[in-house]
Chain A
Amino acid sequence: DGGITQSPKYLFRKEGQNVTLSCEQNLNHDAMYWYRQDPGQGLRLIYYSQIVNDFQKGDIAEGYSVSREKKESFPLTVTSAQKNPTAFYLCASSGSTTNTEAFFGQGTRLTVV
């Protein structure tokens, strides 16, 4: 089945460590997105990519980095520079033209211990 997969579902990180969240899609979508969700808030955009080897900062990119070496994959690295990394992270993908569907992963809960 086509879809978007995030892993792991739960992730624990020690302070000062970098950690990478995986997002893979087999929908042949050009565009991929990373969001962060905090309690009581909607999604906030971290980074997005419209095409392979290109990506743009979203509203809260500081402390995060991404890569888009393959169309199917858009991993997010939470660096030690991110001051408040404990959150729920959601990945999404969509077609790049007139396709209005968006697909969402199940999310990754990152906890700093």
Chain B
Amino acid sequence: DQQVKQNSPSLSVQEGRISILNCDYTNSMFDYFLWYKKYPAEGPTFLISISSIKDKNEDGRFTVFLNKSAKHLSLHIVPSQPGDSAVYFCAASMRGADGLTFGKGTHLIIQP
């Protein structure tokens, strides 16, 4: 049973617009969430994270929002740039337990 779900396998956004990537989770014990970015033939790289005590974390063009009641988080990229075209993975962890549970990823395509 998938505990972290990214229901959109792909997303196409025009350059300069906002990209919104969504992630849902089912395990209420998760208290730390991360986003990873991956280019083809490269390993995933850490992008941004958020603790469950917050509902928003911002880093430059990237903002992650967490809605604990809905068990939903989203990554906003504003403005979207061509270099943002990549696969984005949502991951979750819980205090006291090792490991990250990953979603399957969303392929973001930024169109000129």
In the bound complex, residues from chain A placing their C-beta under 8 Å from that of B102 are 104
Within 8 A of A (CB), among B15-60: 34, 36, 38-47, 49
A100-B100 in contact (CB<8A): no
A64 interfacial contact with B, CB 8 Å: no
B49-A94 in contact (CB<8A): no
Interface residues on B, range: 20 to 34
Min CB–CB distance B87 → chain A (angstroms): 4
- Complex CA gap A104/B91 in Å reads 11
A102-B41 in contact (CB<8A): no
A95-B49 in contact (CB<8A): no
A35-B43 in contact (CB<8A): yes
In the bound complex, residues from chain A placing their C-beta under 8 Å from that of B38 are 94, 100, 102
In the bound complex, residues from chain A placing their C-beta under 8 Å from that of B46 are 41-43
In the bound complex, residues from chain A placing their C-beta under 8 Å from that of B105 are 100-102
A92-B100 in contact (CB<8A): no
Interface size on A, residues (CB 8 A): 27
Name the residue among B43, B46, B107 with the largest chain A CB count within 10 angstroms.
B43
List chain B positions with a Cβ less than 8 A from chain A: 34, 36, 38-47, 49, 86-87, 89, 98-100, 102, 104-105, 107
In the assembled complex, 30 residue pairs joining A and B whose CB atoms fall closer than 8 Å, in A order, are: A9-B98, A31-B41, A31-B42, A31-B43, A35-B43, A37-B100, A42-B34, A42-B36, A42-B45, A42-B47, A43-B45, A50-B41, A94-B38, A94-B42, A98-B40, A99-B41, A100-B38, A100-B40, A100-B105, A101-B87, A101-B104, A101-B105, A102-B38, A102-B43, A102-B44, A102-B105, A104-B44, A104-B100, A107-B98, A109-B98
